[in-house]
Structure 1
């Protein structure tokens, strides 16, 4: 419990730093918030245009698809808000020796290296994603119970852990290779599949994107909880996937750490 309080204080210090930095550059915050909001609007418009010509895609109606899209956006906004800036810089820090800064920090290296900064513009737009989910649920006439809402939040958290772990695992390869930016960039390509219903995948694509790389289920499972209610199998599946990917990234990160040569060595 004492260690948990210690890391909470460290994280809150990072939050204060991020808020102060954002207040110093308000124009940047407003600009990037608008850019992200525009991108989200384009995705919503795309779904609306598609459903102007069809009533169903893989058995999903327009508002079911919007609920899925809102869930995918929510996971992505939270991921970028809490972790992206840190993980994006990690590869360069390893390559240039600036990772030494974290070696001197009073805490777990993986925690310190991946939670130092927050992107408040992405976190602000997560409210828009939540609003889209709520709007879609209302249009569908859904009344999720408290258990359903709690399960939805839990599954979104599991999805966040999975994507965080996947990204950090890719960037941790910088300990072995010169430049992992191409691998890091592949994350956004994979994440685009999270906006597609699981039922649309068949054969090899289902094996790869649903079972092997759970980029689809991270948004489908929470959305299906709102649509159809609590499903213990989905909870166990996503929780197990989150535990597996997090354990994998811990192993990869610490194995890579043993190979790191500091700027002073």
Structure 2
């Protein structure tokens, strides 16, 4: 898959500065998942800047995009437990991301980590989380398929408090075809956590697959409405994926990005670097 920067470079090579140039450019920006609103804004800005070549374009684009991108480092407070609830539709890599985050904090010296198998709708999700727990050395609290997810969270939180665990990681369901039911379930879980954990020690993390483009934005809006998202983990990012959607997300919802997931291994999780991301997006080094 060609990256955003490569597409723009090819566009400038093949296009002449005709009356339709900026309309065509606008279409190309939309294809890069920046979204219609931002694509129009950028096209108009580039037109006013008289961006007639790729170098001018890249500089103007970078200056416009950089302030929109919000990176934030996910850190744990001294209070115990810190709670991270992971949200996202099925298939984006929530459970794998939980394992990666557990590994990340384990590498930082946090040994007392527990996970809650809050996706009781799919037996495979609970089994996968248990396998990760065995491999990486964190315990998993779960129940039977079809059990009340909120009850699982309550039990896991009670256990984490009793054991004075550093970190509780909560998996959740993502069956968007039952949207109202899912949101009701998530709000119940959120309420249980907020009753016992301060907001500074509790984060709601959306996991998205950047290859799904503008669908990420719609997903984020739904989950943000339900529980007020704290941050994002973007999975399946390899530098050529459609990273433009992260710009659209940042612009529309102002939610910081914590990590980029680049593979399946526990170590394939990278702290988000806004400057590096912007450079990769506009391919400033070609």
TM range (shorter): under 0.3
| Larger helix share, 1 or 2 | 1
Q: TM-score, normalised by structure 1?
A: 0.27
Structure of greater Rg: 2
